[in-house]
Amino acid sequence: MNTVLEFNKRELTICGAILILALIAPFIFSAYKLQMAIMIVYIVAAITWNIQGGETGYNTFGNIMFFGLGMYLCSGIQIGMYFPLAEWTEGGGVKTFIHKPDQYFKGLFVGLLFAGVVPAIVAGLIGYGILGLRGHYFAICTLGIGIASGEIAGGIELIGAGQGMTSPPFPNVGGLEFRGQFLYFLCLALLILTFTFVRWLYTTRFRLVLNAIRDNEDKAEAMGIETMRYKITGWVISAFFVGIAGGLVGTMVGYIEPVEVAFDGRELGVFMVLMTILGGKGTLWGPIIGAVLFTIFKESFWTLFLGWQYVALGVLIIVIVIYFPEGLMGYLRERKPEWFGEVIDEKDRKAQITLD
C-alpha cells in the first residue's frame, strides 16, 4: 500500500522543484503575490472539482456554493467573535471596529476552520438528495443551487444583502508586504494539504470505487458497493477544501459581494470545470496544469483584450469544450502512453496501422 510520503524518484524531483519555485516565487515576483495566491486557490478548486467531475463522473456546478459559504463564514465568524456582525455590515466602509492583531489571527484561524467544516457538513446533508440525480440533471440542479444560494445570500440583511460586506482589514503588523506574503503562504499551505490528501486518496480503493461509479453506476451498485456513501464522502472532501479556499479568498479580496465574488457561479463555478477539462479530467496532475494554463490565458486576456476579455473567454470555453474535451493529459496519454506506465504491444500497434 502506498503511503502519503512515498514518492518515486521522478515525482519527487517534479514536486520538489515546484515546491521550491512556489516558496521563492513571492520574493521574486513580489508585485504579483495576490495573483499567484488566487491562482493557487484556482488550483485547489480544480483539484477538488476533479473528485466529482473527473473521478466520479458527476459534473457539478455547485461546488461554488461551498466556496461562497466558506467565504461568508470565515469573515462572519472572524467579525462575530469580537464585534456585533449586524452593526459591522450596517457600517459598510466605515471602520468603527478594528481587530487587534491577536484577535485577527485567532479569528482567522477559527473562521477558516469553520469555513471548511460547515460546508463539509452541508455537503453531507444535501448530498443524499442531490447526488441521487444523474448526468445532466445533476449538472443543472447544482447550477441552480449555486445561483440560488447567491440570490438568497443577496437577500439576507445580516451579511449585507446585495451590497455585500467587508472582511476584516489586515492588522497593522509588518505592512502591505507582510500581508501579501502571509496570505500567499496560507494559500500555499492549503494547496499542499489538499494535494497531499488527494494524492493519498487516489492511491486507495476509494478512487477505484469512484471510477467504477463513473464507468457504470448500476454495475457498481450491483457489485455490492454502496455508491451513495462514496459519492457523499467525495463531495464532503471537496466541500471541505473548497470552503477553506473560499475563506482565504474572502480575506484576500477584502470585500464580499454575494453574486460577483462569493457565489460566482457564472465565473469561478464554470472556471473550475474548464480548468479541469483543459488539463485533463480524472488525473491527479491534470487539474493543476489546467488551472495554471487557464490563469495564464485569463490574465493575458485581461491585459491583451481589455474590454473584450469575456468575448475571448467565451470563445476559449467553446474551443476547449469542442476540440479538447480530453484535455492536455488525455492528449499526452494518447501520444505518449509509456509516460503513464501503459505498456503498448508494438506488434498490435503496427497491425492496427496496417489495417487502416
Nearer to other proteins, 1 or 322 (CB): 322
Q: Give the closest residue to 260 by CA, choosing from 183, 154, 144, 166.
A: 154
The string of DSSP letters for 147-208 reads HHHHHHHTT-TTTTGGG-EEPPPPPSSSHHHHHHHHHHHHHHHHHHHHHHHHHHHHHSHHHH
Q: DSSP strand E in the chain: where?
A: 165-166, 255-256
Which cell numbers in the block locate residue 287?
487539474
Fill in the per-residue mask, 50 to 89: x = in contact with other proteins (CB under 8 A), - = not in contact.
Answer: ---------x------------------------------
Nearer to other proteins, 141 or 244 (CB): 141
Q: Which stretch binds other proteins (CB under 8 A): 179-187, 231-239, 248-256, 269-277?
A: 269-277
Which residues face 166 on adjacent strands?
255
Q: Per CB under 8 A, does 144 bind other proteins?
A: yes
CB of 129 to other proteins, least distance (A): 5
Of residues 44, 262, 273, 284, which one binds other proteins by CB under 8 A?
Answer: 273
CA angle 112, 117, 122 (to 5 degrees): 130
Q: Per CB under 8 A, does 38 bind other proteins?
A: no
Nearer to other proteins, 122 or 191 (CB): 122
Q: Which residues contact 26 (CB under 8 A, 6 or more apart)?
A: 33, 36, 180, 181, 184, 185
Long-range contacts of 196-200 (CB under 8 A, 24+ apart): 196/4, 197/237, 197/241, 198/47, 198/48, 198/51, 198/237, 198/284, 199/4, 199/284, 200/2, 200/3, 200/4
CB of 206 to other proteins, least distance (A): 23
Fill in the per-residue mask, 201 to 240: x = in contact with other proteins (CB under 8 A), - = not in contact.
Answer: ----------------------------------------
Q: Which residues contact 125 (CB under 8 A, 6 or more apart)?
A: none
Of residues 16, 84, 101, 162, which one binds other proteins by CB under 8 A?
Answer: 162
Looking at residue 337, the DSSP 8-state letter turns out to be G
Fill in the per-residue mask, 313 to 352: x = in contact with other proteins (CB under 8 A), - = not in contact.
Answer: xxxxxx--xx--x---------------------------
Q: Per CB under 8 A, does 152 bind other proteins?
A: yes
Q: Per CB under 8 A, does 274 bind other proteins?
A: yes
- Give the whole-angstrom CA distance, residue 356 versus residue 346: 16
Question: Are residues 248 and 7 in contact, defined by beta-carbon separation less than 8 angstroms?
Answer: no
Say which amino acid occupies 182. F
Fill in the per-residue mask, 296 to 315: x = in contact with other proteins (CB under 8 A), - = not in contact.
Answer: ------------x-xx-xxx
Nearer to other proteins, 84 or 135 (CB): 135
Of residues 84, 132, 169, 337, which one binds other proteins by CB under 8 A?
Answer: 132
CB of 101 to other proteins, least distance (A): 38
Which cell numbers in the block locate residue 112?
477558516
- The residues binding other proteins (CB under 8 A) are 59, 129-130, 132-137, 139-141, 143-145, 147-148, 151-152, 154-155, 161-162, 266, 270, 273-274, 277, 308, 310-311, 313-318, 321-322, 325
